[in-house]
A and B are shown apart, each in its own frame.
Chain A
Amino acid sequence: MTASAKREAGDPASPFGNAQTPFAGFGLGLRVPHYADILDARTGPHPDVDWFEIISENFFEAGGLPRRNLMRVRERYPVAMHGVSLSIGSSDPLDMDYLHRLKTLADLLNPPVLSDHLCWTGAHGLNMHDLLPVPLTEESLKHVAGRVRQVQDILGRRIALENPSSYVAFDCDEMSEWDYLSELTRQADCDLLLDVNNVYVSSVNHDFDAVAYLDGLPADRIKQIHLAGHENNGDHIVDTHDAPVTGVVWTLYGKAVERFGTVPTMIERDGKIPAFDILVAELQTARRLQRGVLHAAPKERAA
């Protein structure tokens, strides 16, 4: 299987035969303060929100209000699953209990995309509850690719890995993050979730060209896009997910649309969560921007 061989999940040639929930348009992260708006019985699905994304681990416990609300949202919308604890880059063995819970939830929701991050979250049996950077070496690439294949076999679905924001790089790094991710999609037959904000944050922290990053990624592997806000501390930027998307990230998103086309896009907000309508309005900005870019240069983007 070569990198250019395009396979969609559900395609008979795919080892992952699940009939996938259709996935297009613009979504939001599902957050507790918005449940009342989302589940208002008088209104149907919101006309400007096409899908939601959950943090998978928040729904691992079996019962109660979180599960009831999730299933009500699922009745109205496709629900993508985004995890934070897969720890695909860890030197610890894969956590089979974790994968079992993830699979149970995925089988219930049939997410159009199931994602986590290129990172590790702990070693020696501990968990740091953070997305920690992996060294960009052949050694770690081989390790991560093997684990992605194992995870996909266990889940029976392809996963997408997201580029994390990072604040340090390793002296032993042998390649750029975009080359690493591209090679990973080839070796592991996995997809990518492109976080445009994270590309920008890391490009400042590590002084690389954000557009070169986008140009270096395989277009056919990008299944979802994240947009978020950050905190600029002058010499470095922290990915806080607690503010509106900034102008420079909107610009970079425009470049991503030029290159990757109509990839399902969402806004992530994890802190200082504003009213639902405010986030929907911000999402409309993404929708207009995408439409504008595609009208302006329909032929130039890579398919």
Chain B
Amino acid sequence: MTTLANLQTLFQRHLLEGDAALAPYLARGGAFLPVYRNAYGARLREIMAGEFPGVAALLGPDRFEATVDVYLADHPSTHRNARWLGRHFTDWLGATDIGRRHPVLVDMAAYEWALSFAFDAADADALPPEVFATVPPDAWPGLTFAFHPSLRLLTLGHDLVDFRKAAAEERDPDNAPTALEKTSGWAVWRDAESLTVQHRPLADDEADGLSALTDGGDFSNLCDRIADHLDASLVAARAAELLGHWVGAGWIVDLGGFTLDAHAD
């Protein structure tokens, strides 16, 4: 190994684990080396606290810091952009004791990551409603949909919105997040006009239908999922209603599964 690579290996090991093997290679014994290690921990904790203010508020500052330190030891940053530091946090938290005992933490982490993701996800133009009129009737069953890059679907068992808002604004929340009677689908996305991040709960048939489509399913799969919830005679009207909501919210950015050649004339 070259001197450069060797020194960097030792330096990094010092930052991550406090390994002392670097010190003999430093001028004047490296008296101020702790500046780097302290800054490393402080910086990454600050980034995580900025991404997950709701989780931090639920855990309290000391427990959040301790939790984040364990997370960062398991998932040191591999990305040039620090904004991705928390991308494994939800799954990681879900597999920890504290996450299993307090599922509200995992819900909050998932919700906060979706908010952060939606904030600056790629731009894409929403499909104008008129486009649907150009789809030939026999193409509808195989029609597939591409969704806005900012759209994230979540399944949450708690009402997190007010608590999270208070935590992000550094206010004391009025109430702890309450558990819902049953889990519910949620959508998080960025509004195309205001560029603000929006969220709303989804009806059960809507959540099922949407996840079928985001998994690559087609319009017939959407109708099948709706049929799990509704009488067959109501499915077509409900599918049209849901598509209307999604187009109106700017969630659908492209169609696939048919070619315009079929009706070019």
Contacts and interface: CB of A to CB of B under 8 A. Distances in A.
Interface in B21-52: 24-28, 30-33, 35-36, 39-40, 43-44, 47
Contact of B4 (A127, A134, A169): A134
Given A64-B119, A168-B26, A169-B27, A98 B3 contact: no
B2 interface: yes
Contacts of A95: 80
Contacts of A61: 81, 83, 120-122
Interface stretch (A74-82, A136-144, A294-302): A136-144
Main secondary structure of the interface of A (DSSP, over half): loop
B81 A60 contact: yes
Main secondary structure of the interface of B (DSSP, over half): helix
A91 interface: yes
A172 B119 contact: no
Contacts, number: 135
Given A91-B4, A140-B4, A170 B80 contact: no
A129 B120 CA distance: 20
Contact of A137 (B3, B40, B150): B3
B43 A130 contact: yes
A178 interface: no
A132 interface: yes
Interface stretch (A15-23, A116-124, A215-223, A244-252): A116-124
A143 B12 CA distance: 19
Contacts of A139: 2-4
Given A168-B32, A236-B35, A127 B121 contact: no
Interface in A220-275: 235-236, 238
Given A64-B150, A67-B120, A132-B36, A123 B5 contact: yes
B32 A122 contact: no
A235 B34 CA distance: 13
A51 to B, nearest CB: 23
Interface residues of A, number: 47
A284 to B, nearest CB: 31
Given A126-B77, A139-B3, A64 B123 contact: yes
B82 interface: yes
A277 interface: no
A12 interface: no
B82 A168 contact: no
Contacts of A137: 3-4
Given A171-B25, A236-B31, 9 more contacts: A62-B149, A64-B123, A65-B120, A65-B196, A128-B77, A134-B4, A167-B35, A173-B27, A235-B31
Interface of A: 57, 60-68, 85, 87, 89-91, 95, 98, 120-130, 132, 134-135, 137, 139-140, 143, 167-173, 205-206, 235-236, 238
Q: Which 6 A-B pairs have the closest CB atoms?
A: A63-B123, A91-B5, A62-B122, A85-B80, A167-B32, A61-B120
